[in-house]
Amino acid sequence: MKQIKELLCLLGCMLMTPAYAAGHVNNPYQGADVYHNEDYAQEIEQSIHRVHDAALVAAMRQLQHMPTAIWLDRIEAIAGGTANSGRASLEQHLNMALQQQANRPMVVELVLYNLPDRDCSAMSSNGTLSYRNNGLMRYQHDYIDVIARLTSEPRFSGLRFVFIVEPDSLPNMVTNLWNKKCAAVYQHKVYQRGIQYAVEQLSGHDNHYIYLDVGHSGWLGWDETLQKTVAFIAETVRATKPGLSAVDGFVTNISGSTPVEEPFLDNPSLKLQGKPVRSDSFYAWNRHFDEKDYIERLDQEFIAAGFPEHIRFLIDTSRNGWGGRYRPRQRSAADDVRHYVNESRIDRRFHRGNWCNPSGAGLGPRPQVSPYGEQHPVAAFIWVKPPGESDGTSDARQQEPDSEGKRYDPMCDPDYVVDYGPAPSRLPTGALPDAPPSGHWFHQQFLMLINNAWPPLLAPHDK
């Protein structure tokens, strides 16, 4: 099917260069359609063949047409294929995007995720490049240059490319230098140099839009950490040839499960029995309970740091819905902080640091442009992480990296207990069991996400 669609496009749609594609706009999603990844549709097909409930199959069919990002997590991914499946090449994806395009601009979301010594503080998806083995040069010339050349070709000028640049990288350089691997990467400025090169090579094209990762509110939301993050990112981008104006904005919550809004926890300064709500151990004095509040603060800080006032933010809402039977339906009536927070929050994780295949999560808000209006800093809700793709294997036997650089991380093990420090200090990961390696299809997780979707995807009697 992919080959047929590609051939049809080569015969016709590639020859067209729509007039509406001209010019760089403030919000690339405005007035545009977004490419739905044909590879993701095929992954969902695996689950469709395993269920027999008509309503569930219908819900899965809907999701096959939901736009999700293309992850370029290795040099080899540009040419297509993985160790376990024959995925489309980047060029095939772009041809299929042209084939999907009708009478509106078409956005193609590309996740650049291949820095040397990637994910320095985790192990589930470390990648295949190392700065010790000429990794930075390979990243620049065999990866970034190849992507930049292809997306700059005239035949693709009718597409708008949203580049989501290197999730987790710069935030790791702010908070995780206690880790020896992160400290070494920081010392050699591997992440900064790689991202600076990517920004320089990808900017300057009207249809190229660059967004950098800024973690999520549960990671970087404390005042001091947030300010350090903004300063570090500004320093990194300012050192590029085009400077701060090269970046169109930032992305939060990539592959995350932090809610867009906590509907019953809207006042972090509220006091109960003399204690602020944010003093509870779940928030640990972090005043930013959700992504909307976090972004509104980041917007102010980035502009103060010199970024243009029109910068915008994207939120990955693919897995932060937190619906299902355990979702609170009203604000707690408790008069103590501990019970008030636990009974009011929709985020049902044991700890905000639990990131791997979180149990109880659900599909979040569907992709949407300007959910709070065109003047608000949130430009769009998008699905960066294709729901149903694993965060990492729960198999403790996989201690060595596989052909994709992926291996076991204890945070993906449901039996592992994490020592977070402040009381209650020892908490489970909350990870799902029987998880495959990062990026591979995880049928049981997909079913959970559908059943716990918020807004709901299934009628109550279908769940």
**Residues with catalytic roles:** 168, 391
Using CA atoms, how far residue 184 sits from 27, 218, 395, in Å, is 37, 25, 28
Distances in Å between the Cα of 447 and the Cα atoms of 39, 46, 236 are 18, 12, 40
**Cα 98 to Cα 105: distance, rounded to the nearest angstrom:** 10
Domain ranges of the chain: 2-462
* Confidence tier at 402 by pLDDT (50, 70, 90): confident
* Percent of the chain's residues with pLDDT above 70: 94
Q: Does domain 2-462 have CATH number 3.20.20.40?
A: yes
Residue 338's CB is within 10 A of a number of other CB atoms, namely 14
DSSP label at 164? Answer: E
Q: Confidence band (pLDDT; 50, 70, 90) for 463?
A: low
The three-state secondary structure class of 314 is strand
Q: Are 340 and 281 in contact (CB under 8 A)?
A: no
Q: Rounded mean pLDDT of 426-452?
A: 97
CA dist list (Å): 240 to 115, 193, 247, 255? 17, 9, 10, 27
pLDDT at 235: 98
User: Distance between terminal CA atoms of the chain?
Assistant: 32
Q: Which pLDDT value is given to residue 281?
A: 94
pTM: 0.94
Whether the pLDDT of residue 129 is over 90: the answer is yes
Tens of pLDDT along 221-271?
999 999 999 999 999 999 999 999 999 999 999 999 999 999 999 999 999
Please write the tens of the pLDDT for every residue from 171-183.
999 999 999 999 9
